[in-house]
Amino acid sequence: RVRVRVRVRVRVRGPGCGARLGTSRRAPRRGLGAPQGLAMAAAAPRRAIFTEAQLRQFQRSTAHRAIVELVKEGARAIRGVSGEPGTIPVPPVVARLKEAFAVFDGWIDDIPPINQPMRFGNRAFVDWHRRLMSDGPALISHAIHVGLAEASAAASPTGSPGGGGGGSGGGGGSDVDVDRFRLADDGGSGYIEESCAYLFQCFGHPGRIDYGTGHETSFVMWWLCLREAGALTENDTAAFVLEIFGKAYLGVTRRLQMVYMLEPAGSHGVWGLDDFHCLPFLWGAAQLCEDLSEQRTGDDGGGAGGGSAWRPAALASP
């Protein structure tokens, strides 16, 4: 009898780190991203998980830990935060990205649904998604460029770009090479193209014309790419979750679902929280977490200081 032992190694390209996912059992790193010393080379994502063994290997990987940690970080950042206007500062990069999503939303008005016999899956969504792939990267690149410049100017003592770190203004600070966020054709490093590969997937599948939690996960991967590349920092997390995910992204995806009648992808029916989404329930629940010993101190049983009851206004709203 001959015993053959096969050791599988999977190379995953992205997000922005080109990390090799081996079989190491080292303790998880605190924070996000690849271990120190790995090359930060942008590369187009490609499928690398084909078997259950490779899936289990991915679940032990640095990339998997980074994804889970980012979702947890989002929940911690908005714990007890209502999301009403003025509750949290909105960094320039987040504000500019929100404007880009408003453009995505406007394309729905430009591309109305077509008359067809099928109940689900209006083919006009294919045209909308084609425009996303053609015009989306330039919009994201412009938003990040302008946002980083505004954050740098706000942090500079002289009020001019390049004078200081990003601080809570968001966007990685003065040590971030802004040119890396140019399109590759304009001399960029490919970070926009790599991150947009996930952005293209996070609104639904143009072939099946459906949407599900896998597409929602692609949104988290897009966010992780921007974090790894330095376009966003941990200081931007609360604003990103509430403004970009909770308002901009969910606003676009819900309109896509209704206007183009996207079919639920992998729906579990009554056994699932929702046909399309999962994260609004997780992050919305985090918003509802509050210290009752501090909040319920008023004589009338209301909020702190006897004010009106706390009202969630973003993810937890219907």
Q: What is the pLDDT along the chain (318 residues), one digit of tens a residue?
A: 544 444 434 344 444 433 333 333 334 333 454 433 334 567 778 888 999 999 999 999 999 999 999 999 999 999 988 878 888 999 999 999 999 999 999 999 999 999 988 778 899 999 999 999 999 999 999 999 999 999 888 877 665 544 443 344 455 544 677 878 888 888 777 889 889 999 999 999 999 999 988 899 999 999 999 999 899 999 999 999 999 999 999 999 999 999 999 998 876 666 667 778 889 999 999 998 875 445 444 444 444 444 444 454 555 454
Q: Which residues contact 201 (CB under 8 A, 6 or more apart)?
A: 215, 218
Q: How far apart are CA 212 and CA 128, in angstroms?
A: 18
Q: How far apart are CA 277 and CA 253, in angstroms?
A: 10
Q: How far apart are CA 238 and CA 75, in angstroms?
A: 8
Q: Which pTM does this prediction carry? A: 0.75
Longest dimension (CA), the chain: 80
Angle at alpha carbon of residue 317, lines to 311 and 318, rounded to 5°: 140
Q: How far apart are CA 105 and CA 84, in angstroms?
A: 21
